[in-house]
């Protein structure tokens, strides 16, 4: 019997940040174009990810071949896919060899026509919607295929679960066990009763629980609490993560002081990061942005293809345009380096990190200044100088902000022009001699205090294997990337969907200091410039090998004297 979903209309709303602009000219409307190979691959994977997430069964679709792919421009973009699939009960393997074998051996292949709609309605407060609007399948000979049960709710919707079900009891028990393990306390807890339970089918299941939790083996056995939790489960990956958890001592509603949960979250955020707003109107505007960012964080977590986690941090009340203006700042100007780096023919280890070889200074903070490009450049030169001279010194970003006339200081810049500017200026002073201020100021360069000189610069290959070879042999690499997934990054290996993190829209300068692998996910170790409290102690792990977020599009290095 064929195991496939047929002739059913599915809808999945992913609340995304702006990834494109609408061209409303009449000649664009209803224009149909063939998808490029990379677009076919990306959208096909996204379509299967969506359908597998919505399926109420344990069946998993495996893509055998993309038969056709087109996109139609109307009030948005409709991606029209024709796919050859095989469906296997309980399968979630992404292993290429096993998938190929299943496609070759299975007599149960089906042909599916799947349409995805991506709308254009994008602002800081109303992110883009992407939804599967059609999924119709037949066998390879055009015959009908038996329909299968599927959840028809939207992934953005919430459906109640029987609180007495074994599954939800198991989730609650795992929740308490995880909390106890993380607390380090000898006092253990137990679930006294489950009061409410609901689920949201996404990339796995997002469970929302309201339950009474009591001490189990402690003197305070009577001190039970009503707790609310949000738990994300991917059964096929044995993945279990507590996304939110809070308790109310008084057994009242989970909101406190008459506040909604979102208002309470915003109050906690403002207190934690000492946010002070000039007026009630400004506070309400920030809350409006915060609420929209909570949806983006939810979308990032639910759509994540790696192990990354996203959450509330100090940037949670900033609009996309504000974040771009103050915390990014990469502005390519077309001045490319003509000299190409020589790639060493070396066998590299499975993981390598220049931080353990005294070639990386502590994480710095650019503040509200679009000077990321300067931090990328100094990080690269610090590494090059340390490797050549066996002496690690922290170099001045403020000198570049003030004295590099080819770039625009806090208004943005580009690594290529910064290398040239340093050659013209005569070198870089140490941080201690020309300290960072985070604002444009008058150039006060002192040639007698130059610590490092640049004599040339090179472009490094876009091949990520060769990038790793060059890094292993020569040192940290200056790069630009698309920072879409970085604003709310907390930890883990980030692997966002390519059409959300356009590799051709680079807006942030950072530094690759190493690479590694975690749970079969190869990654780059990237030093950022938003302080040590952001991400993984100031670092970002990004998937390696697919050009994720344009990580391989602008790799370069200075050559130091």
Catalytic residue among 369, 372, 403, 549: 372
Catalytic residue among 129, 528, 549, 552: 528
Q: What share of the chain is helix, strand, coil (3-state, %, to 5)?
A: 30, 30, 45
Decide if 33 contacts 71 (C-beta within 8 A).
yes
What is the spatial order of strands in the sheet that 225-234 belongs to? Answer: 159-160, 189-202, 204-215, 225-234, 239-248
Decide if 417 contacts 407 (C-beta within 8 A).
yes
Q: Is 372 a residue of the active site?
A: yes
Decide if 508 contacts 329 (C-beta within 8 A).
yes
Distance CA 545, CA 535 (A): 21
Q: Is 167 a residue of the active site?
A: no
Cα angle vertex 335, ends 333, 340, to 5°? 135
538: left (phi over 0), alpha (psi -120 to 50) or beta: left
Catalytic residue among 137, 227, 508, 552: 508
In the numeric block, which tokens belong to residue 281?
Answer: 């109107």
Distance CA 396, CA 431 (A): 4
In terms of DSSP bridges, do strands 189-202 and 204-215 run parallel, antiparallel, or are they unpaired? antiparallel
Alpha helix positions (H), 259-407? 261-272, 280-303, 320-327, 372-389, 397-403
Give bridge partners of residue 452 from the DSSP assignment: 428
Q: Any idea what DSSP says for residue 435?
A: -
In terms of residues, how long is the chain? 561
Distance CA 473, CA 419 (A): 21
Q: Is 3 a residue of the active site?
A: no
Question: Shortest CA distance to 323 belongs to which of 295, 303, 299, 293?
Answer: 293
Distance CA 480, CA 164 (A): 51
Q: Any idea what DSSP says for residue 395?
A: B
Distance CA 308, CA 493 (A): 5
The HSE-up count of residue 543 (CA atoms within 13 Å, CB side) is 22
Q: At what angle do helices 372-389 and 415-425 cross, to 10 degrees?
A: 60
Distance CA 269, CA 538 (A): 20
Question: Shortest CA distance to 479 belongs to which of 444, 531, 439, 528?
Answer: 528
Tokens 């192990």 locate to: 307
Give bridge partners of residue 57 from the DSSP assignment: none
Tokens 């974040």 locate to: 323
Distance CA 521, CA 94 (A): 12
Q: How far is CA 107 from CA 98, 206, 254, 410, 411, in A?
A: 15, 34, 52, 61, 60
Decide if 195 contacts 227 (C-beta within 8 A).
no
Show which residues are catalytic.
372, 508, 528
């Amino acid at each position: 019997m064929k195991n496939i979903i047929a002739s059913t209309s599915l809808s999945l709303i992913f609340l995304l940040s702006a990834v494109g602009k609408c061209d409303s000219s009449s000649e664009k409307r209803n224009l149909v174009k063939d998808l490029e190979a990379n677009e076919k691959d990306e959208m096909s994977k996204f379509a299967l990810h969506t359908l597998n997430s919505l399926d109420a069964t344990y069946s998993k679709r495996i893509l055998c071949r993309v038969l056709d792919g087109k996109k139609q421009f109307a009030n948005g973009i409709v991606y029209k896919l024709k796919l050859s699939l095989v469906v296997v009960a309980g399968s979630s393997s992404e292993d290429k060899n096993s998938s190929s074998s299943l496609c070759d051996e299975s007599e149960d292949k089906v042909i599916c026509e799947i349409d995805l709609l991506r709308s254009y309605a994008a602002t800081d407060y109303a992110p883009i919607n992407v939804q599967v609007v059609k999924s119709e399948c037949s066998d390879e000979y055009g015959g009908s295929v038996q329909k299968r049960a599927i959840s028809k709710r939207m992934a953005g919707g919430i459906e109640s679960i029987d609180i007495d079900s074994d599954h939800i009891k198991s989730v609650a028990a795992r929740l308490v066990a995880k909390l106890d393990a993380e607390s380090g306390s000898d006092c253990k807890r137990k679930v006294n009763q489950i009061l409410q339970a609901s689920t949201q089918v996404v990339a796995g299941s997002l469970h929302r629980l309201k339950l009474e939790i009591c001490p189990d083996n402690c003197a305070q056995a009577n001190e039970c609490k009503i707790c609310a939790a949000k738990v994300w489960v991917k059964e096929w990956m044995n993945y279990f993560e507590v996304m939110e958890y809070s308790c109310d001592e008084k057994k009242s509603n989970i909101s406190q002081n008459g506040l909604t949960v979102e208002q309470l979250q915003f109050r906690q955020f403002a207190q934690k990061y000492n946010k002070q707003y000039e007026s009630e109107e400004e506070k309400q505007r920030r809350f409006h942005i915060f609420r929209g960012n909570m949806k983006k964080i939810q979308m990032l977590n639910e759509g994540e293809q790696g192990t990354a986690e996203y959450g509330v941090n100090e940037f949670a009340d900033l609009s996309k345009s504000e974040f771009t203006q103050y915390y990014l700042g990469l502005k390519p100007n077309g001045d490319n380096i003509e000299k190409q780096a020589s790639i060493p023919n070396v066998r590299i280890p499975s993981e390598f990190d220049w931080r353990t070889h005294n070639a990386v200074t502590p994480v710095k903070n650019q503040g509200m200044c679009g000077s990321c490009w300067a931090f990328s450049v100094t990080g690269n030169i610090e590494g090059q100088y340390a490797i050549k001279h066996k002496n690690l010194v922290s170099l001045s970003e403020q000198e570049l902000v003030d004295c590099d006339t080819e770039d625009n200081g806090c208004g943005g810049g580009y690594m290529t022009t910064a290398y040239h500017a340093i050659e013209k200026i005569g070198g870089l002073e140490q941080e201690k001699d020309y300290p960072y201020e985070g604002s444009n100021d008058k150039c006060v360069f002192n040639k007698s205090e130059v610590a490092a000189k640049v004599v040339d610069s090179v472009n490094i290959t876009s091949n990520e294997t060769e990038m790793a070879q060059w890094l292993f042999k020569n040192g940290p690499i200056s790069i630009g990337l698309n920072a879409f997934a970085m604003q709310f990054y907390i930890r883990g290996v980030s692997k966002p969907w390519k059409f959300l993190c356009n590799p051709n829209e680079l807006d942030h300068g950072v530094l690759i200091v190493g690479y590694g692998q975690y749970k079969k996910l190869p990654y780059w170790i990237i030093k950022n410039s938003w302080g040590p409290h952001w991400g993984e102690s100031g670092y970002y792990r990004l998937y390696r090998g697919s050009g994720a977020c344009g990580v391989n599009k602008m790799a370069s290095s200075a050559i130091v004297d």
